[in-house]
Amino acid sequence: MIDAALRALSTAFAMGWEILWPLILGFALSAVVQAVVSHREMSRLLPDDSPRSILVALALGAASSSCSYAAVALARSIFLKGANFTAAMAFELASTNLVVELSIIIIVLMGWQFALAEFIGAPIMVAILVILFRAFLTPELLNEAREQAERRIAGRMEGHADMDMAVSEGGSLWQRITSDEGLTAISHYFVMDWASVWLDIVGGLLIAGALAAWVPQEFWQSFFAVGHPVVATLWGPIVGPLVAVISFVCSVGNIPLAAVLWNGGISFGGVIAFIFADLIVIPILDIYRKYYGPRMMVFLLVTFYVAMVGAAFIVDAAFGLLNLVPQERSARVVESSIAWNYTTWLNVAFLALAAWLVWRFLKTGGPEMLRMMNRSGQRGGALQ
């Protein structure tokens, strides 16, 4: 038993080492974008569910944090300030599927085909969701959700969602980024994004490590119907989100698990559907219940699931026709050993960058802001 646990921990650590520099790079780039893109105008820019508003929602989501909890909290915030509910949900989906750190990690662990499928599939998923909302979202249900939202019951990462330190004035884009105010904002976003998602990342690594070390390939091949190609193609996108729902892992933390599932035999579309499903995991569903009420929670679960499965089927079919589906199941789950190769050198370099950002965070009042962010959620929690 001890040997099995050590093997799982060793696998989780190796996966963490593999994705360390992409995580730091991704969060640093995300922090730069957030430092120059203000949240103040989001509600004004998302007045309806027109194609223009949905495209703006996708762009704003891609420029935001990948933290699922922060994305959900921010979506409610802009909805309460006047944004269209459908556009707010489109923003939420883009916030966890089009952000740069997600793409970098997918490329490193799984390959560019998966990152491209995610990039193409996310807008398709949003388009399906818009159609579903227009067909089935009734004014009665929307009003009920708004009344519940106005109670402002706290979920998680409320303070992170409220934080807006974007530098909107002060010269050119480069001048704003390199100014003292810009560098401080970047360091604060960087550390607070890490504070938001580190539990999901660690949880995802531990679950993926355990599955990779303990579950035999024969089980995965049987579960994903590897011996029956047609059945596997249909089954993968259907079961992928369901695996995500019960894994409790969201945000970038589910990419290592996606790599394990791909190596185990899940279809290409199944992997994409699994990655899409970070916004319907059980903890997020409970937040929907608090934010919008039980009926809207069920509505979001069903419509999100249908949109995720539908988009995954479309992407799988399109990539199959274009011969873009990888033939080898060789996602880089772990390296055989840690050596002085390019991964180690990149990790050292980006750890130095992270150390500098943390140092600036500590020197510019960051810890107090982090405490305020945490207290915001605790105060709201008393209202539940």
- How many structural domains is the chain composed of? 1
What's residue 158's pLDDT? 55
CA distances from 63 to 27, 37, 47, 379 (A): 11, 7, 19, 28
Reduced 3-state DSSP string for 298-325 = HHHHHHHHHHHHHHHHHHHHHHHHCCCC
Q: Which of 77-86, 145-154, 371-380 has the lowest mean pLDDT?
A: 371-380
Task: State yes or no: pLDDT of 121 exceeds 90.
Answer: yes
Of residues 194, 166, 162, the one with CA closest to residue 179? 166
Residue scoring higher pLDDT (129 or 60): 129
- Read off the pTM: 0.79
Q: How far is the C-alpha of 35 from the C-alpha of 29, rounded, in Å?
A: 10
What's the average model confidence in pLDDT over 333-342?
A: 61
Q: For residue range 291-310, list pLDDT tens digits in order.
A: 999 999 999 999 999 999 99
Of residues 93, 134, 119, 117, the one with CA closest to residue 304 = 93
Per-residue pLDDT at 155: 56
pLDDT of 22 higher than 90: no
Question: What is the pLDDT, as a whole number, of residue 382?
Answer: 35
- The yes-or-no verdict on residue 24 having pLDDT over 50 is yes
- Segment 342-350 long-range contacts (CB within 8 Å, at least 24 positions apart): 343/17, 343/18, 343/21, 346/21, 347/17, 347/20, 347/21, 349/21, 350/20, 350/21, 350/24, 350/25, 350/28
Query: What's the pLDDT score for residue 41?
Result: 64
Six-digit token string for 10: 């060793």
Residue 66 has pLDDT above 70, yes or no: no
Of the ranges 153-157, 321-325, 364-368, the best mean pLDDT one: 321-325
**Is 38's pLDDT higher than 70?**
no
CA distances from 342 to 24, 290, 339, 348 (A): 15, 46, 9, 10
Query: By residue range, what is the domain housing residue 128?
Result: 2-381
